[in-house]
Each structure stands twice: as C-alpha cells, then as structure tokens.
Amino acid sequence: MIPYINVPFDYVANLVGAPTDELKMIFLFLISYPLAGVLKRLPDHKPWTKNVFIISISIFYIVGLFDLWSGLALIVFDAVGAYLIAKYVEGPYMPWIGFSFLMGHMSISHIYRQMAATPSSVDITGAQMVMVMKLSAFCWNVFDGRQKASELNDDQKERMIVDLPAPLDFAGFVAFFPSIMIGPAFDYIDYHRWLNTSMFDLPPGTDPMKAPPTRKKRKIPRSATPAMWKMASGLLWVFAFLQFSNYFNKDVVLSDRYKNMGLLWRIFHLHMLSLVTRMKYYGAWSLTDGACTLSGIGYKGLDAKTGKPNWDRLINVRPAGVEFGQNSHAYLGNWNINTNHWLRNYMYLRVTPKGKKPGFRASMATFVTSAFWHGFYPGYYLTFVLASFIQNVAKNSRRLLRPFFMTPDNKPLPRKRYYDLLTWLVTQLTFSFCTAPFILLTIHDSMLVWSRVYFYCPVGVALCSLFLASPGKAWLAGKAGARSGKGGKPGLGRTDSMDSLKGGSTLGVPSEPGREFDELVEEIMVEVKMRRGSRAGPEGVELRRRVEASLVEKSEEMKKEL
C-alpha cells in the first residue's frame, strides 16, 4: 500500500460515517474516468502501450490502494491457470476443467471471506467473481475455435478464439482496470476488437457520412457525453444510498423497534431495505459502465433507429426495469445483466446435448452454478429456492389473468392500468421479501425478519401453487382462452412478456420448477428403460408413479440429514 494513502479516506469516513474501504472504492470508480481518458488517447497502432497501462493501473488499485498482495497473487494464479488449461488441454472436457479450477479456487476465497465476517471491507472475492466469468468464457471461446463451424451457433461463431492470444494481450484483458473490481465482465473477443479498433468499423453498406464523430486520427468515437451521464447517475445513486442507508438498514429490521411497528410500516421498511441496498449496486455498476464507455469498450455499434452510437454493450443493470418491473422475469432480467449472459451462454446452453432443448439438467446446473458463484451464506440459498417458486407462480398467473385485461386481438383494455399497478406492487413487495436473506445472510436473521411480516410471500406462493394444482386452474384457463380467442388455451405473444429475455432461467433461478420436475421424471424413465433393456418391468403410469415416489422419498431423506 502507498504510505499514508489511508489518511484522507479515514478523515472523510469519520465525517460521513461510512467505512473507509467503501470510500476508497468510490474513489477508484471516479479516478477510472480520467485514467480511461488517457487510455483512450494512447496510440491505436501501439496496442502494447494500452496493455501495459491497463496492467499498471490495476496493480495500483489492488496493491497501492487496498494492499491486497495476496489478492493480486490469486488473480495471477487464476489467469495463468486458465491460460495454460486453454493452451495445453485438448478434448471436450477442457472448458469444464477450466471452469472447475476457477470455481473451486473462488469457493475457497468465499469461505475465507465468510469466516472473516467483515462485509464492509474490500477483499479480492469480488474481483475473483468477475475473473470466473471472464476466464471460464475464455476457455469456452478457445474450445469453440477448435470446433467445426457447422457445430456452433451464431453467437459462438462470433466469439470463438481460433488463435490463442499473446500473453500481454491476455493480461490486458484480465486486468482491464475500469472493471477489475466489480465488473462488468466481457469476453476476450470484445477486448481484442477494442484493442485493434475493429470494433469501431462500420457495418458493410453503411454510409461513411453516418460514421460517429471522432477526434483527430482516433477510430474510437467520442464517448465523453454518455460516459458523464452514466457517472452522474451513478453518483446520484451513491449519494441516495449514503443518505437513506442511515434510516433503512438491516439493524433496523432486526431491532425491537421494528417489531413494534404496524404491519404496513414493517412491510414498507422491508421494501426500503431492499431498495436502498440496490441503490449501492446501481451506483457502482453505473460508475464502472461509464468508465468503460469512456475507454470505448462499451461501444455497441450504431443504433438501428437513431443512427447514433450505442454505448450499452457492457450495461449491467437497468434500474427502471427493476423498479418498475411488473413480473419476475422483468425484475431479474434487468438485474446483473452480464451474469445472466454468462450463465445462459456458458452454462445453461453448454450442458444441453446438441439437438435437444434445455431441460431440467440445464436449469439445475445453472441454478447450482449461480448459487455457488455468489458464495455460501445460507441466506443466498433461501432467496434462490423461494425465487424459483415465485417464478413458477408468476409465469402461470400472468398467463391466466392477463387475458381478462386485453381484447381478443391483444390490445389493452382501459382497466389494464389497474392490472399493471397491481402486478407492479405484488412484484416489488414479493422480491423485497424474497431478497431479504441476501442482505441478512444468516438463517436466524432471515427467519426472524420474515416472521415479523408473517411470511406473507411464501404463504401467498403456497396458496397460489395449491390453486394451480387444483381444477380451478383448468377452469380459469378455459375462461382466459375463450377471451383471447385461443380455443381455451391462454397465451401471450413474445412481445408481451419479458420471457422474451433469452434463456430459460434468469440468474440461475428456474422459471418453472414444476415443469422441470416433470422433465426430470421423464429423463429418469428413459434411463430406466434403456438400462432395463428387454427385461420386464413397470411401464407408463406405473413407472412414472414409482419414479416420482422415489424422488420424493430421497428428497425427504436429504431434508432429515440437513
């Protein structure tokens, strides 16, 4: 650490009552802007200078600012390990070996952080979580580069790495300083195209007069204005967090004062706890996104409608999409967007055999990966399990209820505004309850706070699930189908649902655990028949009944063991 660097941060921390490390992190985000401006101005024909500059700044951040010598060693170890695995390991298991190496190493760091129990201090686990996404994707991209083009989808063809990058280019990719600590993560091909400036080439057939403005001989378009807007919004979110966190925090909901409030005030405080916590992430991700925009790597091409540069390549959160989300998929799909991208492209679709649709195994693998990636606090798993049931109820409820507020040709009726308001309120209050354990971390604190609002969310989910398992669902589906003109089968157009967000699960949360349980039963039945061969045994309904009974029995045994 640079001598006396903590002095000004300690002074400000005493004035505002914020942890020193959090102030240092905000300083890191802000100083990344002028440094990104310098990076952007380094000569395009000398990419090695950009790599060296990036690596130097990241070392300053990790060691000079936070004194994380061991953290620097961990990142170097992960990067070198992933590079060697990608280079020397052949065959279909290479990316899985790389993924297991990275996740295993990060899991050890998560355990150490959990044992240290200092959530307000900065350690290397945040940077390691970013590295896991970047480096595991790198292994898959190298693997794709060794496959036949006919075996890859369009996204995999675009991101495949045919020739392993030079070590210096790879190190620059790993150490990209605007996103080193908390993201956003991106694939190597994005960095490579930014480094050689091919990212800024106009699409074929585009009028050169429509090219975005640049300065002097640089190919990177001007990006100061959008970057400053992102910085301003990030600072506003951080300021709001610092102000409101004094009134809405986990100490309040765990206090006796909270217990003695009226029920509506308790629900309000629980919602505000979730909202204020999100403000911190809105601020941090907006600030890092702005620095990436200023460096140029956030460029996404020309907007098809306006013809102006789009700087949302690395956007990680859309606050309006979360805060005004009217269903679970919209709420989760606008949160931690790059993690959604990583889970979908490098887990959900990768565990699915070629020629088959993703099913239970893909959803379960994605769910476990997302849970382990976040860490091992019990509260995380309470949130994930409850969220999976919320997804199922929300999806079915929307299909059954929304047609009553639409015309047969799918246009909103005047009364749909009440439906929109109700679904927004239910979605926000549901996830305020659901995500509380993510903030409280322990089972004891989570159950205590949940009990103080009478477990309103799981009770509501249970009642809705009972209805969906009853004949009432078929009756309501018939009514909804008759209104929508689909012959008794309610449905939604792709544009009408946030399910159009790609992927069957969001942040690893299964969208329909009930359907996925049925898919698991089907897969086991097929496996049983294959192993049994020509021997006699139960078939059809009887085989399904036995498989379901066996699964329920095993799950009950696991619950007793836990």
Contact 528, 543 (CB under 8 A): yes
User: Residues with Cβ < 8 Å from 230, sequence gap 6 or more?
Assistant: 286, 287, 289, 290, 293
Structure tokens at 377: 């606090």
Structure tokens at 247: 């009134």
Structure tokens at 522: 């089907």
User: Residues with Cβ < 8 Å from 247, sequence gap 6 or more?
Assistant: 272
- DSSP string computed for 89-146: --STTHHHHHHHHHHHHHHHHHHHHHHHT-TTS--SHHHHHHHHHHHHHHHHHHHHHT
Gap between the Cα atoms of 11 and 421, Å rounded: 46
Helix, strand, or coil (residue 288): helix
Which burial class, exposed, middle or buried, applies to 523 when counting CB atoms under 10 A from its CB (0-12, 13-18, 19+)?
middle
Residue that is written with structure tokens 């959900």 in the block: 348
- Check 192, 329, 341, 374 and give the catalytic one: 374
Angle at 466 between CA 462 and CA 469, to 5 degrees: 140
Gap between the Cα atoms of 356 and 504, Å rounded: 14
Compute the residue count for the chain.
562
Contact 95, 139 (CB under 8 A): yes
Number of Cβ atoms within 10 Å of the Cβ of 59? 14
Gap between the Cα atoms of 263 and 163, Å rounded: 61
Gap between the Cα atoms of 280 and 267, Å rounded: 21
Contact 343, 246 (CB under 8 A): no
Structure tokens at 337: 């967007």
- Inter-CA distances, 480 with 130, 392, 406, 476, Å: 44, 18, 10, 6
Assess whether 374 carries a catalytic annotation.
yes
Gap between the Cα atoms of 501 and 498, Å rounded: 6
The distance from CA 421 to its chain's CA centroid, rounded to whole angstroms, is 26
**Closest Cα partner for 463 from 473, 448, 449?**
473
In the chain the first and final C-alpha atoms are separated, in Å, by 44
User: Residues with Cβ < 8 Å from 79, sequence gap 6 or more?
Assistant: 131, 135, 170, 171, 174
Catalytically annotated residues: 374
